[in-house]
Amino acid sequence: MKAILYTIILSFLVLANCVNPSGTRLMGVFNPETVSTPNTNVLSPKIQVLISSVEYTSSSTYAFSDTTAGSTTSIIIDIYNAGSDTLILSQNPVLDTNTDFNLSNPSKLSLAMAETISLTASFTPSSSGIKTAILTINSNDLTNGTFTLNLSGTAITGTATGTGTGTGTGTGTGTGTGTGTGTGTTLSPEIAILESSTEYLSGSTFTMANTAVAGTIGFTFTINNSGPGDLILSGTPYVALSGTNASEFAITQPSSGTITASSSTTFTLSFNPVSGGNKTATLTVTNNDSDEGSYTLILSAYAYSACALVKDSGKNDKIIFATTATYDGNLGGVSAADTLCNAASNKPNSSTYKALLGSSTRSKTSMDWPLKDNTRYFNIYGDCMFKTDANKIYDFTVSALVAIDPVSGGNAFTGLNADMSIEGNHCNNWTDGTSGSDSSYGVLNKTDTNSLNKPAGGQRACNKVKKLICVEQ
């Protein structure tokens, strides 16, 4: 009863001294200076998993080195507590059911701050091929309570050679025993594919010469095995074709699917286009090379339609395309425009291209004029457009056979007259993108003088964006 009375009196005294400026007594005054700051320094554990001092995050992958089937490769996995409280593993780390991997148990399940425990993971494949497993570590880590590490390994075949010695004792008869020890030697194949003397890495592109529709062009490829083991081609067929235009390519298959160590075989590839334009396909060789088991080569070709214009001996047919991207007149000069042509997303092949632009430094008499003499030019659809004369020009006052881009159309800067002479205005040598400067331009789906020089109009201004016409070199 006294305790209750004292509390009431004390509360009254405290409240009695709480007075606002007007003199009114206040009930329950809050003073922020008396409130203590909460303790935000919460202790928490943090798991880190390391192999050979390299940290692996949860869900990442560790790859064992290639291991001969029947032998063992082992690694040490360190579990480190990088947190500020004790890290507790709820059970021994576990592996899934793949019996090609094994795991030892750690010495304990509780780790103080900055403490490390270790366990051994081993890879003992029973057969060849790629093997995988998942290591799981459950703990009281607040963010990685279930830590997983993907394990992978490639098992390869091997051979062993042994030597032994024997001894015999006895009178009249002899018996002997022998013991032998051997070491395994991995026999791994290594694939390489070459055309002529050029090797093409898996995933690279093989570009063929331009070919006429209904014509054909052929190549002989060599599959080389530079490894000590047999290279086995396991695909059906050995060399397969796929992709949009696969039917316009053909393969003559290798004579055998087994290529012994340090030997080779050949196959032939032919391109037999049935229509004009760009053609692509993918060549695939499935094999037992450990790192190139699915070798691929991208095939790129261009087919042009029959042309009434006679092809001169020694003059290769060329392609002209228009960029899909558009630009104002400030191209940075003609050389910079060439760079834009070669970087174009719709560039039809790996050849070098130059922009068909007239300027004070680029004309039919200059060294870097993009057109060649007495050469036939085709659009990207395989259509024969025109043939230049001995002066490296074509006069568009005489209609071309086909437009530069009859499908997409659009406008393109030229700086040229219809007869390919240089017009006086060319966006200040292609360095001016303002409305105060202008240039001639062409309409890409036209076959007359408008192909290179559209009559005067608002589109001539250099701030009006247009495409570029690009010529194969």
371 shares a domain with 459: yes
Residues 262, 320, single domain; the answer is: no
Would you state the pLDDT for residue 25?
43
Residue 209's pLDDT band (cuts 50, 70, 90):
confident
**What domain range includes position 241?**
191-304
Confidence of residue 13 (pLDDT cuts 50, 70, 90): very low
225-281 confidence digits (pLDDT tens) = 999 999 999 999 999 999 999 999 999 999 999 999 999 999 999 999 998 888 999
pTM above 0.75, yes or no: no
**Residue 69's pLDDT is what?**
76
Confidence of residue 85 (pLDDT cuts 50, 70, 90): confident
Mean pLDDT over each residue of the chain, to the nearest integer: 85
Asked if pLDDT for residue 324 goes beyond 70, the answer is yes
Same domain, 197 and 337: no
Give the pLDDT score at 157. Answer: 67
Strand partners, 139: 89
* CATH number of the domain that residue 243 is part of: 2.60.40.10
Which is more confidently placed, 279 or 397?
279
Higher pLDDT, 444 or 161: 444
CA distances from 275 to 36, 69, 212, 377, 380 (A): 83, 52, 9, 17, 12
Q: Are residues 450 and 316 in the same domain?
A: yes
- Is residue 15 in a domain? no
Condensed to tens digits (0 to 9), the pLDDT of residues 133-178 reads 899 999 999 899 999 999 888 877 654 444 444 444 445 454 545 4
- Say if residue 368 is in the same domain as residue 458: yes
Q: Which tens digits make up the pLDDT trace of 38-75?
A: 444 568 999 999 899 888 899 988 888 888 877 889 89
Per the domain annotation, does 456 fall within a domain? Answer: yes
Q: Of 86-100, 243-257, 432-446, where does mean pLDDT reach its minimum?
A: 86-100
Does residue 329 carry a pLDDT above 90? yes
Statement to judge: residues 300 and 330 lie in one domain: no
- CATH code of 441's domain: 3.10.100.10
Encoded tokens for 388: 């230049």
